[in-house]
Amino acid sequence: MLEINNLRANINGKEILKGLNLKIKEGEVHAIMGPNGSGKSTLSSVIAGREIFEVTAGEIIFHNKNILNLTAEERANEGIFLAFQYPIEIPGVSITNFMRAAVNAKRLYNKQEALSASDFLKLMKEKQKLVELTTSLVNRSVNEGFSGGEKKKNEIFQMAMLEPSLAVLDETDSGLDIDALRIVANGVNKLKNPNNSYIVITHYQRLLDFIVPDFVHVLYDGQIVKSGTKELALELEEKGYDWIKDEYHNK
């Protein structure tokens, strides 16, 4: 469903992604690991269509369509979801209103009618339960005054609402205690099905105990330098990244 070929991207003239390749099929979970500054968050931003990054070469094929010319909201409506590492606060805008705008935008995009208020509220209730999000949170403004854990749970809740075919979880585990981590991971696992895929970006193998990846990739210097199965993550946890860097530089 997703094919990234020779992707190169700059920010302020500095090249961050330097010819990245990645292929993901329906139903797969891919973990992307790597040291700080290797380009992990840039990759998620570029897939989602953030304009501050300039794509200089390559292509991103999603459902047989090159999406590089689509705007961020078009990509979202095509089924790409980004769970942000640092979800931004939007004061005064309740999660309910926010999600209603998003869900209906997607329905409009797919030429469906907007949900009625009662159907929408029903959907909210159902998904809230799925990701164990309390009602009091849903009535608050988007991310305003949320703890780190609440923000991440809110991201997963939004994912549940929007039912993307590709979800990119950008360091969703950072700043979470073990209980919050379990809730977030459970949410993801419940939403997993043979038709949707995940890119899980993380520093730590810990999250991968809960969300078990089919493949693990190491991103370094803007490229994927090593790929393997979940055992690779354990190896990285144990040995760090230096051996990968050495291998890469000796090439």
d(CA 104, CA 46): 25
How many CA atoms does the CB half-sphere of 151 hold within 13 Å?
Answer: 22
Residue 65, exposed/middle/buried by CB under 10 A (0-12, 13-18, 19+)? exposed
Q: Is 90 among the residues that bind another protein (CB under 8 A)?
A: yes
**Binding pattern for the stretch 168-197 against another protein, x by CB under 8 A and - elsewhere:** ------------------------------
Our CB check for another protein shows the closer of 80 and 233 to be 80
Please report, in angstroms and rounded to a whole number, the separation of the first and last CA atoms in the chain: 31
Q: Is 48 among the residues that bind another protein (CB under 8 A)?
A: yes
Q: Is 92 among the residues that bind another protein (CB under 8 A)?
A: yes
16, two tokens: 């961050």
Our CB check for another protein shows the closer of 155 and 236 to be 155
Q: Is 11 among the residues that bind another protein (CB under 8 A)?
A: no
Residue 211, exposed/middle/buried by CB under 10 A (0-12, 13-18, 19+)? buried
Q: Is 243 among the residues that bind another protein (CB under 8 A)?
A: no
Per rule CB under 8 A, count of chain residues that contact another protein:
31
CA 11, chain centre distance (Å):
20
Please name every residue paired with 226 in a beta bridge, in sequence order, or none if there are none.
218
d(CA 53, CA 58): 14
Our CB check for another protein shows the closer of 57 and 108 to be 108
- The residue from 57, 101, 114, 121 that contacts another protein (CB under 8 A) is 101
Residues 105-164 touching another protein, rule: CB under 8 A, are: 105-106, 109, 141, 158, 162
Q: Is 97 among the residues that bind another protein (CB under 8 A)?
A: yes
Per CB under 8 A, residues contacting another protein are 48-50, 52, 71-73, 75-77, 81-82, 84, 87-88, 90-94, 97-99, 101-102, 105-106, 109, 141, 158, 162
